[in-house]
Amino acid sequence: MGQFLKGKAHVFGDDINTDYIIAGKYTKTLDYGSLASHLFEDLDPGFSKKVSPGDFIVAGENFGCGSSREQAPIAIKYAGIGAVLARSFARIFFRNAINLGVPAFVCDTRGVEAGDELEIDLSSQRVTNLRSKAVVPIKPLAPVMVGIINEGGLVPYLKKHGDFKLPD
C-alpha cells in the first residue's frame, strides 16, 4: 500500500449485514470472482456494475453485522474495492477484513455523500473529503492488527512468524 488511497464513495447506512454484502445463496463457491459479481445485490441489484477498481464503501454504524461468512469481505476484495470506511464495524467482519488484507477504517463518515472523492492518508491516519474539504481522523488499529495488515493478511503473517506475536 502506498501512502495515499483515493477513491469514490459508495454510501450505505447503519447495520449493513453480511447477508446484504453477499447473499447466502451465492456463498457456496471457491470462485471468488463470482462472489464479487453479486456484491450488495439484495440492497442494490446493479451495484457490482457501478463499482470501479479503487472505489470506497462508506457506511454508518455496525457495518458487517450478522453472519461470520468471510465471503463478504472476499466479495468486497474481489470487486476491487480500495477501502471500507465506517463509523463502526461488527467484530467478526472487521477481523475478517484485516485477515484478508482488506483495508477497513473506523472514522466519522457522517456528511459523506454518494460520489464524493475521498483521500486516505495512511501516514497521518486521516481521511479528507475532497468535495467538502472535511478532514477526519482514523481510529488507530490494535497493534496486533497492524502487524497482520502490514504482512498483507493473516496467512502471510503466520507463514512468516509461524505463530502469533503480540506486541509488548
Partner 1 sequence: MGRTVIEKIISKHCGRDVTAGDFVVAEVDLAMSHDSTGPIAVEAFRKYGRGRVWDPSKVLFVLDHATPSPNERVSCLHSLLREFVSEQAIRLYEVGDGVCHQLVVEKGHVRPGDFAVGTDSHTCTYGALNALSFGIGSTDMSGVLLTGKLWLKVPEVLKIIYSGRLAPGVFAKDLMLYTIGKIGAAGADYLALEFAGEVIRNMEMSDRLTMCNMSIECGAKAGFMEADEVTLSWLEERAQGPFEPVFDDPDAAFSDLYEWDVSGLDPQVARPHSVDNVVSVGEVLGTKIQQVFIGTCTNGRLDDLRVAARILEGRKVSKDVRLLVCPASRGIMLESMKEGILPTLVEAGATVIPPGCGPCPGTHQGIPSDGERVLSTANRNFKGRMGNNRAEIFLASPATCAASALEGRIVDPREFFEGKGA
Regarding 105 and contact with partner 1 (CB under 8 A), the answer is no
- Footprint (CB under 8 A) of partner 1, residues 3-22: 14-15, 17, 19-20
Taking contact as CB under 8 A, which single stretch among the options 77-85, 114-122, 125-133, 136-144 is the one that binds partner 1? 136-144
Instruction: Write down the least CB distance from residue 96 to partner 1, Å.
Output: 4
**SS3 track for the chain:** CCCEEEEEEEECCCCCEHHHHCCHHHCCCCCHHHHHCCCCCCCCCCHHHHCCCCCEEEECCCECECCCCCHHHHHHHHCCCCEEEECCECHHHHHHHHHCCCCEEECCCCCCCCCCEEEEECCCCEEEECCCCCEEECCCCCHHHHHHHHCCCHHHHHHHHCCCCCCC
Regarding 68 and contact with partner 1 (CB under 8 A), the answer is yes
Amino acid at the residue 140? P
Regarding 42 and contact with partner 1 (CB under 8 A), the answer is yes
- Footprint (CB under 8 A) of partner 1, residues 70-89: 70-71, 73-74, 88
Regarding 154 and contact with partner 1 (CB under 8 A), the answer is yes
Angle at which helices 154-161 and 91-99 cross, to 10°: 60
Instruction: Write down the least CB distance from residue 105 to partner 1, Å.
Output: 17
Nearer to partner 1, 92 or 120 (CB): 92
CB atoms within 10 A of CB 104: 24
Regarding 96 and contact with partner 1 (CB under 8 A), the answer is yes
* Positions that interact with partner 1 (CB under 8 A): 14-15, 17, 19-20, 23-25, 27-30, 41-43, 61-62, 65-71, 73-74, 88, 90-92, 95-96, 99-100, 142-144, 153-155, 158-159, 162-164, 166
